[in-house]
Amino acid sequence: MIRSRQGTVAVVLILVLAGGLVAVAEPATGVSPQVTDERTSLASALTEQAQASSTETIDLTRELGLVPNVPGTYAATYEYRLPDRLESLEVTLPAEAAVQSRIGFEAVDDRTYAWDGETDGPRLRYRLPANETVSPDGPIAAPGSLLFADTGDWAVVRQPRDGHEWSWRGEDVRVVLDRTTTARQGAVGDQTAYLGPYDRYTNDSHGQRFELVVPEAATLEEAPTDIFASLGAAADRLRVGDRDEQVLAIAAPTQGVEWGVRGLQTGESDMWVRDVEPLADPDNVWIHEYVHTRQDYDLAANLQWFTEASATYYAALATFEQDRISFERFRDLLARGERSIHADSVLADPDSWQRNANYHVGALVSGELDRRLRVATDRERSLQTVLSRLNAASETVSAARFRSIVADAAGETVKERTVTGPYRNRTLSTAEPTLVPGETISLEALVANAGGTAGEYEAVVAVDGQPRETRTGVLDPDESTAINVTERFDAPGVYNLSVGGATVPVEVREPATPTITTASTNRTRLAAGGAVTVTVGLTNEAAYPGEREVTLTRDGDAIGTETVHADAGARTEVSFETQVDRPGEYTLA
């Protein structure tokens, strides 16, 4: 029974002297017995064992549906198709789930159900509360309190959150779960679902497919073609990274439903917007929620304000650029951030926010940053440059990193970054480098005299505010010079390397562990004694360098160990040579 998805990599080597005897080797621990004869490609067999020779699938179909006689509740039916190698399967349902029926499952506790090990097509059916509430707040707030709702005739719901655990037999196979969610009547997205009768409209724009779901109970304020035109124009203007292939937008009915917000974005690219929402509004909710689908980052608490700030700003800017509102209305939206009620709000401190400062003051700050970036770079860069770099970041972004990204976008004060060490010697392509202990980063910072007379400069090189050295010099008017700074980092952590007023956050992490992906031998049979070369391929899938010790054993005894270094995303190989002189069968692993 296998719970780990990593198998044992083994090589069976048969040395044949006169006569030629085909033998069956004892399998390495955890590997199913396998007969090797003269027609077997040992390299192929080895690669299959390293990567699992086959994949089997647990197919789960989750069908969601209304419960008309119980408003506020919807139903979920789980149907499974199980592979032959499956040993066990457990499903953990949402805490509020009330199971109505089950076939082939036994209760483990109130939430967890285990497959009985015999039923071919086990099923579960349960009901779940649909309504979720919120305390309304912010410019996107509505008079009520509902985030998700079920009227009995239709529903906008959050899809169930469940968990699965399973095990299987055999080292040569991998078992995965494939989940498909459908609606008995309705439409489903990544995390949201609409249940009930509806009309569906689609539009392809700038590499995205927009799907607009209009429930039978909804009365749209705007025509679907106008909604698509507004979203498509916003998609074109907002160039901050990859677009989702599909966006699901649900026009939520408002008749008889007290929504707590005017719209909501969930998952990767799902959103619902009240059917009464207009497009000619500085708070254009259709675009506001769409902008959220383009925010693919993780922010520290002191930068959380930027999510709603940028959505509010870009919704107003896009609506103005589409000639749906006047400049005065666009200006007035930004001016909300200047009101005295926000005087004590500090964006970096969420506890200090007064009256939705993250929306209002945040939008004003976003607009000013956008303006300054455009001016500083002759419109070559904008706040979109910053948002693009946030989306590209692989780790949580703090306020300090944000300031560095803005400064870098404004002037490219730090022109070039290179790294040297045992793992790599090359130029870094990211503004926020990730190193491993023992690597040295080199920066080239630009110092320029923009004044009309000659002047002295003093640039302090520091790490986390602790001065390392001071560079001084004199520059004539309009003259510039480059300062080269080198710093070695030996311990994991997050550091701020600064040169004058420019700061580059540097993250130092322990090396990643490359994965062994292939192994092969230059021969599998010897007519007489000789040397055999084993080549092992490794891949580092991390975004920073990796290190791994690879040991070759022969019949369980270590015969060689090599330390392998691999750059981010790189594939490398290491080879071992072993001498075989006596007839017999040998296992190399």
The 10s digit of each residue's pLDDT in 19-60 is 222 222 222 323 222 222 332 333 333 443 445 578 999 999
Q: What is the identity of the amino acid at 183?
A: A
Q: Whole-angstrom Cα distance, residue 354 to residue 476? A: 48
At residue 443, the pLDDT reads: 83
**What band does 521 get if pLDDT is binned at 50, 70 and 90?**
confident
For strands 173-183 and 132-133, give the pairing.
unpaired
Strands 493-499, 426-427: pairing is unpaired
The per-residue pLDDT of the chain, averaged, comes to 85
Asked if 549 and 562 count as a contact pair (C-beta separation under 8 A), the reply is: yes
Average pLDDT over residues 373-390: 87
Token pair of 349, please? Answer: 């401190």
Specify the domain boundaries for CATH 2.60.40.10 within the chain.
Answer: 437-508
Output the CA–CA distances (angstroms, integers) from residue 407 to 388, 411, 463, in the order listed: 14, 6, 18
User: Which residue in 441, 454, 452 sits closest to 481, CA to CA?
Assistant: 454
pLDDT for 40: 31
Neighbouring residues of 164: CB distance < 8 A, sequence distance ≥ 6: 58, 60, 89, 90, 91, 92, 177
Tens of pLDDT, residue by residue over 143-161, are 788 999 999 999 999 999 9
Task: Give the DSSP letter of residue 151.
Answer: -
Distance between CA 157 and CA 191 in Å, rounded?
A: 9
Residue 143 has a pLDDT of: 73
CATH homologous superfamily of 437-508 equals Immunoglobulins (2.60.40.10)
Question: Any idea which residue has 């076939």 for tokens?
Answer: 103
Per-position DSSP letters for 538-557, written without gaps between them: EE--SSS-EEEEEEEEETTE
pLDDT beyond 80 at 100: yes
388: amino acid identity, one letter: S
Among 166-170, 252-256, 371-375, 446-450, which stretch is predicted with the lowest mean pLDDT? Answer: 446-450
Contact 566, 540 (CB under 8 A): yes
* Cα–Cα distance list, 85 to 9, 48, 80, 169, 220 (Å): 21, 17, 14, 5, 51
Return the CATH fold of 11-51+513-588: Immunoglobulin-like (2.60.40)
Give the number of C-alpha atoms closer than 13 A to the C-alpha of residue 423, restricted to the C-beta side: 30
Q: What is the DSSP string of 72-120?
A: TEEEEEEEEE--TTEEEEEEE--TT-EEEEEESEEESSSSEEEE-S--S
Q: Residue 480: what are its φ and ψ, rounded to 5°?
A: -140, 160
- 214 by DSSP, 3-state: which? strand
Phi, psi of 306 (to 5 degrees): -70, -25
Identify the band that residue 324 occupies on the pLDDT scale cut at 50, 70 and 90: very high
> How high is the pLDDT of residue 38?
30
Torsion angle, alpha carbons of 105, 106, 109, 112, to 10: -20
Integer-rounded Cα radius of gyration of the chain = 31
Rounded mean pLDDT, 469-496 = 85
Residue 472 is predicted with a pLDDT of 86
Separation between Cα atoms, residue 118 and residue 65, nearest integer Å? 28
Under the banding of pLDDT at 50, 70 and 90, the label for residue 528 is low
- What residues have CB less than 8 Å from 150, skipping those under 6 apart? 66, 71, 72, 73, 74, 130, 131, 156, 157, 195
Residue 265: CA count within 13 A, CB half-sphere = 19
Domain 55-133+158-187 has CATH 1.10.10: no
Least confident of 29-43, 217-231, 258-272, 498-512: 29-43
DSSP letter assigned to residue 434: E
Lowest mean pLDDT, pick from 200-204, 447-451, 470-474: 447-451
Higher pLDDT, 380 or 518: 518
* Structure confidence at residue 213 (pLDDT): 98
Cα separation values, 527 from 15, 221, 580, Å: 7, 84, 11
Cross-strand bridge partners of residue 111: none
State how far the alpha carbon of 303 is from the alpha carbons of 80, 297, 323, 334, 411, in Å: 43, 11, 31, 19, 22
> Which one, of 3, 52, 30, lies nearest residue 166 by Cα?
3
Q: Which residue in 558, 559, 550, 555 sits closest to 579, CA to CA? A: 559
Q: Please, what is the end-to-end C-alpha distance for the chain in angstroms?
A: 22
Distance CA 301, CA 397 (A): 9
pLDDT attached to residue 465: 85
